[in-house]
A and B are shown apart, each in its own frame.
Chain A
Amino acid sequence: MRGIQSWSAYLPYRRLDRTQIAPFVGQGGGKGTRTVASFDEDSTTMGVEAARLALRGRDLVPAQLLFATTFPAYADRTNATAIHAALRLPDTTAAFDLGASVRSSVGALLLALTGGADPALVVAGDVRTGLPGSGEEAASGDAATAFVVGSDATAPVVAELVGSASVTDEFVERWRAPGEQRTKIWDDKFSEISYVPLGVQAWNAALAAAGLTANDVAAAAVVAPSQRVARSVGGKLDGVHVIDDLSQTVGNAAAAQPGLLLAALLEQAEPGQVVALVVLADGADVLLFRATDALGSYRPVRPLAAQLAAGAALPYGKFLAWRGMLPVEPPRRPEPQRVSATAAARSQDWKFGFVGSKERDTGVVHLPPARVSRGGEQIDEMDPVPLADVQGTIVTFTVDRMVYSPSPPVVFAVVDFDGGGRLPVELTDADAGEIEIGQRVEMTFRRLYASDGIVNYFWKGRLVRDG
C-alpha cells in the first residue's frame, strides 16, 4: 500500500481584508480575506514551516524531497536544498525543484505517490500577488503544504492512493513571464470551456482506474484557476459533495492550493471514506484516496482548521509594501551586505538547522555553537544540540526604530530556551505593542533579506499562539 503518511498545511499569520482594496486603489478587492506571507517569508521558508509541522513528532526520514512553487527564490540553483538543510535531512536525501507552474505541485505529489522513494517529502509553497486592484491580487493567497508519501513498510499510511488519471492540453489560458509578478488571463469563458471537458475526462478515467463509481466518493476538492472554472467542473462530478475551496479565507495559493485542499479533505475524512482531489491546471489531474484506519488515530500537529481561525489583520498599505508594489522610505541606515557564501556553507547546521552546541560536562548551551567551553577550560568537548523545535521565554526585549529592516521597526527579544541556551533574536509575526517579558516563543525559519540576489535565510522567534 502506498499513500500519504503525514501532512501539514502552513498558513502565514497575516490576513488581508479584501474590502480594504477598493477604497485605496479605486477598484478591485472583494469580500472575505486572503492570507499574506510576511515580508520575511518566501515560498521556501513557508515550505520549511509546512514540512516541519508534517515531520514533527513522527519517526519519518524522507529519502527524497520534491519542492514545487510558481515563485522560486532562486533560479538555476535548487530551492529545495534550503528546505533540506533547515529540516536537517540526511545528505543522501535527494532534493529537487519542480516548477515554476501551478501544475508542478500535483505533479510532485503524483511522482511521489507512484515513485520508489520511501518515504518522499512533497513540499509546495507560494507567495502570490498581482498588480494593485487586480483580480489576481484579491483572489490569491499565500500558503505552503507538505506531504510525506510512502509505503506502509516505513510508516502507517493514512490515505492510500486508489486511483488517478491525468490529461494534458496546450492552451494559453493564463501566462506570466519569468520574473514578473503580474499574471495575465485570456478570457474567463475560454478557461471554462477548455477545462470542463478535461476535468470530466480525468474524473471518469480516475474512477475507472480505481474501479469505483462516483457513489463511492465521499467528497471532492476542486483546484481551479478561477471560481468559474471550479464551479463548472465541480458541477460535473456526478453530484459528489465539493468542499469549500478556502477562497473566502485563504485565497488561491497557486502551487500550494492542491495540497491545501487535500489537507482540508483529509482533515474532514473518516476512515474508509474515499476522497477526490481534482486539479485543473494545463490539463486535469484527479487523485482518489481512501482514508485508512490509521487516519483515525492521526492528529495533525497544527490542523488547517485551527490555522484558519488564527491570524491577524494586515493593513493594505503594508501588504503593498511587503510585495514591493509600494516602495516605502527605509530607515536612513546602511542596507545589509550580501551573505558570504563560504561562511554560510561552514555554518550550515547553525544557519539553516538552528543547531547549537552543548558542553558535555556542564550542559551549558552555546548559541551559536562554540568550540571552547564557557570559561575556556575545554576545547571541542561539545555535542550538537538542535533547538529549532525547542521553545523559549522572553527575558527582555526592545523595539528598534532606527535599524535597517525591510519592514521597520524591528522587534527584538532576548530569549532563554527551555533546557538551556540564550539568544538575542528578532521576533516576527508580532506587533511592537504586544510583546511582554515572560511570553513564550517558538522558532520559525525566515528570509532576513536578500542582497546581490543572495537570500539570507535564518531563524526568528515568534510568539506561541493557539493555532
Chain B
Amino acid sequence: MGSHGIKDRVAIVGMGCTNFVEHWDKGLDDLVVEAANDAYGSAGIDKDKVDAYWLGTAQGGMSGITLARPLQLENKPVTRVENFCATGSEALRQAAYAVASGAYDVAMALGVEKTKDGGFQGLNAVPPPNDGTGRTLTAAAMFSMVAPAYAAKYGVDADKMREAMAHVAWKNHYNGARNSRAQFRREVSMETICNSPKLAGDLGVFDCAGVADGSAAAIVVRAEDAYDYTDTPIFVKALSFIAGNGSGVTDPSYDYTHFPEIAATAADAYAQAGITDPRRELALAEVHDCFTITELILMEDLGFSDRGAAWRDELDGVYDLDGDLPVNPDGGLKSFGHPVGASGLRMMFEAWLQLRGEAPDDRQLALAKPGGDRNLALTHNLGGYPGEMVSFISILGR
C-alpha cells in the first residue's frame, strides 16, 4: 500500500488554452476544437497521433462522445470525467496515469465548460432527485463562513481581514491585467474591492471568481519520448487527489479555519515530488482562488505560510508577482475566469508557459524560466465546500 506517484515518468509536450471570457459567439464544440487544435499544434502532431482522450467537463455534456463528436475522432477511447471544480485536473490525472501504465503512447486531457448559456448568475449544478433536506447555499455563502472563523481564531481585526482578502483580489487582477487570455484584464483598486456589493457574508462581488467560458488541453507522453516532441517538455513530478468524506460539515470539531483535504493532498504531493520547503522550492503556484478567503486559507494548507500568518504574508506582498512565491501569476480564477472543467488545465497552462519562459514579458517570472533559480510549479484545484471538498495538486517541473 502507498501513494507512490509517477515522478518523471510522464511529460506534457503540448498545450492549448482558449481565452476565458463570455464567449457569446462560441458554443462548447467551438471551444473544444480551438483548445484541441492549439494543443496539437503546440506538440507538432495531428489528431491521429493521439491514442486516447480524457474530457473533463462538469456540466458540458455526458460521455466521451461530447468530445469525440466535435473533434470527429475515429475509433478512439474517449472518457468523460467529472470531479467538481477539479474536473480539468482529473482529466490530466487520468491521461497521465494511462500513459505511465504503458497502455497508450500519447494521450490528451481536455477540459471545457460553457457556463454562460444557462442564463443564471454564478455556477449552478443540477442536483439529482432528492428528499429536499440538503442545503442549497451558494458556494460564496459556504466559503464566507470561513472568514469570521479565521479572524476570530487568530485575532485578526476586521479591517485587517478585509484588507488581506482585498489584497488577494487586487493581486490577481494586477496579474490578470497582464494576461491576454484572462476574462478581466484591468487592475482594480483596493477601495473598489472593499466597497463592492456583498453577495454572501462579507464576500463582495470582487471577492468572487469570474465565471467564464473556456477550454484548455494538454498532450502527455512517456518521459522518455518527450524530447521527440519538444526541447522543453514539462515533467509531471506529482499528482495527488483526495475526495473528502464530508465529515467536516457535520463534525463539531471542524472549525472552518482550514481545509484538511488540501493539507493532506499537499503532504502527498510534496512527498511524491521530494519537496520539503515548498515556499522556497516552488517557482510559482496556481491555486484555486474561488473566493479571496479561499486563497488565504490555501497559503496555510499548502504550507506556504504558517498557521494564522497567511493574512500578514499576503499583505506583505509575499505572493505578489514580484514576491517570494508568486501565486496565480496568470490572474487566477479571480480574473482569468472559471470555466469549471477547464480551470485545472488552465493552471497547468500557466506553469507550462512560465517554466518554458514563454509567458509575456510583463508577467514572466525570472526565477521560473529556464536558467532561473527554481524549476517547479504547483497547481491546485478544489471543488465543494469547507468540510466537504475534493482537492487536487500537481507538481510540474523541468
Contact = CB atoms under 8 A, between A and B. Distances in A.
B partners with A: yes
Nearest to A331: B121
Given A340-B130, A396-B149, A424-B135, A410 B256 contact: no
Interface string A382-400: 0000000000000111111
A404 B133 contact: no
A333 B120 contact: yes
Contact of A374 (B127, B130, B141, B251): B251
Interface in A327-379: 331-334, 336-337, 339-340, 343-344, 346-347, 350-351, 366-368, 374
B158 to A, nearest CB: 14
Given A334-B120, A403-B136, A412-B141, A398 B201 contact: yes
A461 B138 CA distance: 19
A401 B141 CA distance: 8
Contacts of A448: 132
B131 A399 contact: no
A408 to B, nearest CB: 11
B78 to A, nearest CB: 29
Given A400-B138, A402-B122, A414-B145, A437 B133 contact: no
A457 B121 CA distance: 27
B136 A404 contact: yes
A63 interface: no
B148 A437 contact: yes
B250 A401 contact: no
A416 interface: yes
Contacts of B130: 339-340, 343
A210 B98 CA distance: 89
Question: In the complex, which of the residues A350, A404, A422, A448 has the most CB atoms of chain B within 10 Å of its own CB atom?
Answer: A422
A410 B127 contact: no
B1 interface: no
A212 interface: no
Contacts of B198: 399, 401
Given A396-B256, A421-B250, A402 B138 contact: yes
A420 B131 CA distance: 24
A425 interface: yes
B249 A424 contact: yes
Interface in A154-181: none
B145 A396 contact: yes
B192 interface: no
B328 to A, nearest CB: 24
Contacts of B138: 333, 400, 402-403
Nearest to A423: B250
Given A346-B131, A398-B144, A367 B250 contact: yes
Closest A-B pairs by Cβ, 8 of them:
A400-B141, A339-B132, A340-B129, A398-B201, A456-B132, A343-B131, A398-B144, A347-B131
7 contacts: A333-B124, A333-B138, A351-B132, A396-B256, A397-B145, A412-B137, A412-B141
Interface of A: 331-334, 336-337, 339-340, 343-344, 346-347, 350-351, 366-368, 374, 395-404, 410, 412, 414, 416, 420-426, 437, 448, 456, 458
Given A400-B140, A420-B252, A422-B249, 20 more contacts: A333-B124, A334-B124, A334-B126, A339-B131, A343-B129, A344-B131, A346-B131, A350-B131, A395-B256, A398-B141, A400-B141, A402-B140, A403-B138, A403-B141, A410-B141, A422-B250, A424-B249, A425-B135, A426-B135, A458-B133
